[in-house]
Amino acid sequence: MWKNFRILLKALFMTVPILFLIFILANLVLNFGQQSKPETSIDKKTNARVYTANSTVDSMVYQVVSLNYTESVVKNNTMKVLSKNNSAKLHVKNNTTTVVATNNTTNSTQIYEYLFSYLHVPVQVCSSNGNTSDPFLLFVVKSDVYNMANRMAIRNTWGAFSNPGIKLVFLLGYLPVMKPFIQKESNMYKDIIQLNFIDNYHNNTIKTIMGFKWVASHCSGAKYIFFVDDDYIVNTKYIWDHLQSLYVAEKRSLFLGFVWKGARPKRNTKSKWYISRDDFKDNVWPPYASGGSLVLTVDIINKLMTQFKVIKPMFIDDVYLGIACRNLNISLIHESRFSVRYRPDKMDHLFSSHGFRSPMKLVEDWKKFQIKYDMLI
């Protein structure tokens, strides 16, 4: 009897903490859902749609689509959208962030500007933030604000280089539930760029645009910029050696990536990548580099930024860059060594490889292959 009683007590001591943890997580999810549930303001006459999320940064607008022919005023603390035409205006105002769209009935030219506020900035990465000089190679890792474990895995694997000519930063959007965690992460590692747009899949293009703007404004002396998502493994040594050879050969203005040609927009409304004909009318995308892993130079970034003002926002960021490159006649250099599949066993001849299943998988594969393939510098 006493043996059964002890077993029951042990089970209770094990179960209560688990139930308590589940209770805390449930409340956290509930609070997050209440904080970040999108609210939509729609003007049916114009198809103007503004999505907002209430948070400690207040009503942040994270997507604007199709501003035309009406007059309307919406105000919050963080964003301004201005649309002009011959007969009417639409305004969305704030104190810190500006997106401007101008449309004239005789010209139909639109102008967009993205000026979000920084919540965290890195330290001692480039000369503008305390480093002795700008790096030869700068890794800008586009990371989901939730993916702290991915960032930790990267810092302890391919991002753990000792070469002073290489620097790494992580580019994040904002979610209120993650605020205290990102504060601690930024304080500890000082490698976070965070801006006050909602970190959402449909804001990938905004994240890319703001990453380009940060590089152009704060690290313009970097020779090469490697943009990469936070689910890649990178052969740091291999890409360093390759870019050094390009620099010696004076190939100092380029856009490298895994280039897709002849791809078609998804017209099925159920598709994750659905694009309407209002957003893109052609049946074939222009050539574009897979946005998960690519290398550019700052002069190309500056050219692309001129197109960000006139191209309608589109959530598929790599296609968006492809449209900008087409408009500017920028040649995309195809490199199959930016692998779009996860092939860690082939890293002796790959710059990067996409899609590790978990942060622990990245760590395991790194330990297994880093010495074999000489992937760290």
Each residue's pLDDT tens digit in the chain (377 positions)? 444 434 433 443 344 344 334 433 444 444 444 443 333 332 332 222 223 333 333 333 333 333 232 223 333 333 343 444 433 333 333 334 444 444 433 344 678 988 899 999 999 999 999 999 999 999 999 999 999 999 999 999 999 999 999 999 999 999 999 999 999 999 999 999 999 999 999 999 999 999 999 999 999 999 999 999 999 999 999 999 999 999 999 999 999 999 999 999 999 988 988 999 988 999 999 999 998 999 999 999 999 999 999 998 899 999 999 999 999 999 999 999 999 999 999 999 999 999 999 999 999 999 999 999 999 88
Q: How remote is the C-alpha of 125 from its chain's centroid? A: 19
Q: In order of start, what are the domains of the chain with their CATH numbers?
A: 39-100 (no CATH), 120-373 (3.90.550)
Of how many residues is the chain composed? 377
What's the pTM value of the predicted model, to 2 decimals? 0.75
238: CB partners within 8 A, 6+ apart: 337, 347, 348, 349, 350, 351, 373, 375
Q: How far apart are CA 363 and CA 357, in angstroms?
A: 11
CA atoms 330, 331, 332, 333: torsion sign: negative
What pLDDT, on the 0 to 100 scale, is given for residue 168? 98
The region that residue 71 occupies, defined by phi over 0 for left and psi between -120 and 50 for alpha, beta otherwise, is beta
What pLDDT, on the 0 to 100 scale, is given for residue 119? 98
Q: How far apart are CA 201 and CA 144, in angstroms?
A: 9
What pLDDT, on the 0 to 100 scale, is given for residue 78? 37
Q: CA–CA distance from 132 to each of 146, 163, 377 (Å)?
A: 32, 14, 20
What pLDDT, on the 0 to 100 scale, is given for residue 273? 86
